[in-house]
Homo-oligomer: A and B are copies of this chain.
Amino acid sequence: MGKDKKGLILDTLRELFKEGKAGTASVSDIAARAGIAKGLIQSGGNALEKLALLMQSYRGSYVDSSLDEYLHMPQNAAIHQKSLAQILSALSGIISRIIEQGTVEGLFACDYPREYAEIIMAVFTFLLDPGIFPWGGDQYALKLKALADMLEKGLCADKGSFGFLYGAEDSFRKETK
């Protein structure tokens, strides 16, 4: 995947996540952008490469801390909860497709792609939300390692193939060069 294309995908996804978190995007708006993201995501790279890109942009979208502060005020809890649910639904569809691609590529074996995608997104949107659970950096990293371990075993993927989740990007880059 070229560098420019990767940048475009990341920008589009960041916008999607920010709008979802702000609670300002309508469901159809999120769906439309998710459609664009889905098109981009499905245009090149293997399943692991696409999942890495998606997770990278999701985590990057947390950079805007003033928005996070707003969403984590008690009076905005309803908007926050709704936005997390919207993000879960929009992204689960995309991740599910990528898991299916991975099974075709022989990288994964999975009977429940949609449900696996939803479990992944429940971890990201709820357990790893910095306003709901203010985990320390070490705790956060350990949760991502455990998720990688669970997914590698659950999806029958190679050990270490989800290393991108906790920043072991070198091993991932070697595989996907």
Give the interface of A toward B (CB within 8 A): 74-75, 77-78, 80-81, 84-85, 88, 111-112, 115-116, 118-119, 122-123, 125-127, 132-133, 142-143, 145-147, 149-150, 153-154, 156
Contacts and interface: CB of A to CB of B under 8 A. Distances in A.
A70 to B, nearest CB: 14
Contact of A143 (B81, B115, B132): B115
Given A81-B81, A119-B147, 7 more contacts: A74-B78, A85-B132, A85-B133, A111-B149, A115-B146, A119-B127, A150-B150
A81 B88 CA distance: 16
A166 to B, nearest CB: 11
A127 B122 contact: yes
A143 to B, nearest CB: 5
A80 B84 CA distance: 14
Copy tally for this chain in the complex stands at 2
A97 to B, nearest CB: 16
A147 B78 CA distance: 27
A145 B115 CA distance: 9
Given A78-B75, A132-B81, A154-B154, A118 B127 contact: yes
A80 B81 CA distance: 10
B123 A119 contact: yes
Contacts of A146: 111-112, 115-116, 119
B78 A127 contact: no
